[in-house]
Amino acid sequence: MEFWFNEMHTQNVQMSIRVERQLFSGESDFQRIDVFDSPEFGRFLASDGSVIFSEKDEFTYDEMIVHVPMAVHPNVKRVLVIGGGDGGVARELSHYEEIESIDVVEPDKLFVDVCREFFPANACGLDDPRVSVYYQDGLRFLRSKQDYYDLIINDSTDPLGHTAGLFTKEFYGSCYKALHDDGIMVYQHGSPFYDEDEAPCRAMHKKAYRSFPISRVYQAHIPTCPAGYWLFGFASKKYRPLENFDRERWEARGIKTWYYTANLHVGAFMLPKYVEDLLEEEENR
Amino acid sequence: MDLEQQKRAPIYEALDSFRKQRVVPFDVPGHKRGRGNPELVALLGEKCVGIDVNSMKPLDNLCHPVSVIKAAEELAADAFGAAHCFFMVSGTTSSVQSMILSVCKKGDKIILPRNVHKSAINALVLCGAVPVYVDPRVDPKLGIPLGMEMDDVTAAIEENPDAVAVLVNNPTYYGVCSNLKAIVGLAHAHGMKALVDEAHGTHLYFGDQLPVSAMEAGADMAAVSMHKSGGSLTQSSLLLLGPNVNARYVDKIVNLTQTTSASYLLMSSLDISRRNLALRGEASFQRVSEMAQYAREEINEVGGYYAYGRELVNGNSIYDYDVTKLSVYTRDIGLAGIEVYDLLRDEYDIQIEFGDISNILAYISIGDRIQDIERLVGALADIRRLYEKEPSELFLAEYISPIVAATPQDAFYADKESLPIREATGRICSEFVMCYPPGIPILAPGEVVTKEIVDYILYAQSKGSSMQGPEDPDIRYLNVLKGGAR
- Verify that B71 and B213 share a domain, yes or no: yes
CB contact under 8 A, A168 and B372: no
Q: Does B386 touch chain A (CB under 8 A)?
A: yes
B372 to chain A: closest CA residue: A165
Give the pLDDT confidence of B188-199 residue by residue, as tens digits. Answer: 999 999 999 999
- Verify that B424 and B385 share a domain, yes or no: no
> CA nearest B336: which of B361, B306, B358?
B358
Identify the domain boundary among B270, B293, B325: B270
CB contact under 8 A, B378 and A177: no
- Rounded Cα distance between A189 and B58, Å, is 54
Identify the domain boundary among B359, B393, B427: B393
Q: How far is B382 from chain A (nearest CA, A)?
A: 6
A171 neighbourhood in chain B, CB within 8 Å: 378
Within 10 Å of residue B408's Cβ, how many Cβ atoms?
26
Q: Is the pLDDT of residue B463 over 90?
A: no
Q: Does B372 touch chain A (CB under 8 A)?
A: yes
- Verify that B139 and B248 share a domain, yes or no: yes
Question: What's the number of domains chain B is made of?
Answer: 3
Is residue B434, in this structure, part of any structural domain at all? Answer: yes
- Verify that B130 and B258 share a domain, yes or no: yes
Is residue B437, in this structure, part of any structural domain at all? Answer: yes
DSSP SS3 for A261: coil
Is residue B469, in this structure, part of any structural domain at all? Answer: yes
- Rounded Cα distance between B188 and A86, Å, is 66
- Verify that B168 and B228 share a domain, yes or no: yes
B380 to chain A: closest CA residue: A170
B294 neighbourhood in chain A, CB within 8 Å: none
Q: Does B343 touch chain A (CB under 8 A)?
A: no
Q: Does B346 touch chain A (CB under 8 A)?
A: no
CATH number, domain A58-283: 3.40.50.150
pLDDT of residue A84: 86
DSSP SS3 for A116: helix
- Counting Cα atoms < 13 Å in the Cβ hemisphere of B157 gives 22
Q: Is the pLDDT of residue B126 over 70?
A: yes
Range of the domain at B140: 60-270
pLDDT of residue B398: 58
Domain ranges in chain A are 4-54, 58-283
A162 neighbourhood in chain B, CB within 8 Å: 369, 371
A207 to chain B: closest CA residue: B347
Mean pLDDT of B252-261: 95
Q: How far is B301 from chain A (nearest CA, A)?
A: 9
CB contact under 8 A, A140 and B377: yes
Q: Does B377 touch chain A (CB under 8 A)?
A: yes
- Verify that B428 and B334 share a domain, yes or no: no
Identify the domain boundary among B237, B270, B303: B270
A210 to chain B: closest CA residue: B347
How far does Cα A154 stand from its chain's mean position? 6
- Verify that B261 and B286 share a domain, yes or no: no
pLDDT band, residue B265 (cuts 50/70/90):
very high
Is residue B13, in this structure, part of any structural domain at all? Answer: no
Supply the CATH number for residue B441's domain.
3.90.105.10
How far does Cα B424 stand from its chain's mean position? 30
Q: How many CB pairs under 8 A join A and B?
A: 58
CB contact under 8 A, B375 and A165: yes
Q: What is the DSSP letter of A55?
A: T
The residues of A that are catalytic are 155
Question: Percent of chain B scored above 70 by pLDDT?
Answer: 97
Average pLDDT across each block of 10 residues of chain A; the chain has 285 residues. List them in order.
93 95 95 96 95 93 96 97 92 96 95 96 94 93 94 81 76 94 94 90 91 96 92 96 96 96 97 96 90
Q: Does A223 touch chain B (CB under 8 A)?
A: no
CATH superfamily of A4-54: Spermidine synthase, tetramerisation domain (2.30.140.10)
Supply the CATH number for residue B381's domain.
3.90.1150.10
Domain A4-54 matches domain A58-283 at the CATH topology level: no
Q: Is the pLDDT of residue B434 over 90?
A: no
Indicate the residue of A137, A173, A177 with minimum beta-carbon distance to B371. Answer: A137
- Rounded Cα distance between B221 and B114, Å, is 19
Give the pLDDT confidence of B81-115 residue by residue, as tens digits. Answer: 999 999 999 999 999 999 999 999 999 999 999 88
Is residue B7, in this structure, part of any structural domain at all? Answer: no
Stretch 64-123 of chain A: residues touching chain B, C-beta under 8 Å: 107
B301 neighbourhood in chain A, CB within 8 Å: 143
Stretch 166-195 of chain A: residues touching chain B, C-beta under 8 Å: 168-171, 173-174, 177
Give the pLDDT confidence of B25-47 residue by residue, as tens digits. Answer: 999 999 999 999 999 999 999 99
Within 10 Å of residue B358's Cβ, how many Cβ atoms?
24
pLDDT band, residue B468 (cuts 50/70/90):
confident
B294 to chain A: closest CA residue: A140
- Verify that B378 and B358 share a domain, yes or no: yes
pLDDT of residue A253: 96
Best mutation target among A30, A156, A170 (most B Cβ atoms within 10 Å) is A170
- Verify that B103 and B241 share a domain, yes or no: yes
pLDDT band, residue B352 (cuts 50/70/90):
very high
A143 to chain B: closest CA residue: B378
- Verify that B234 and B160 share a domain, yes or no: yes
Give the pLDDT confidence of B220-248 residue by residue, as tens digits. Answer: 999 999 999 999 999 999 999 999 999 99
CB contact under 8 A, A139 and B374: yes
Best mutation target among B382, B385, B386, B387 (most A Cβ atoms within 10 Å) is B382
pLDDT of residue A158: 65
Give the pLDDT confidence of B363-380 residue by residue, as tens digits. Answer: 999 889 888 899 999 999
Amino acid, res. B352: I
- Verify that B306 and B263 share a domain, yes or no: no
Q: Does A137 touch chain B (CB under 8 A)?
A: yes
Q: Is the pLDDT of residue B356 over 90?
A: no
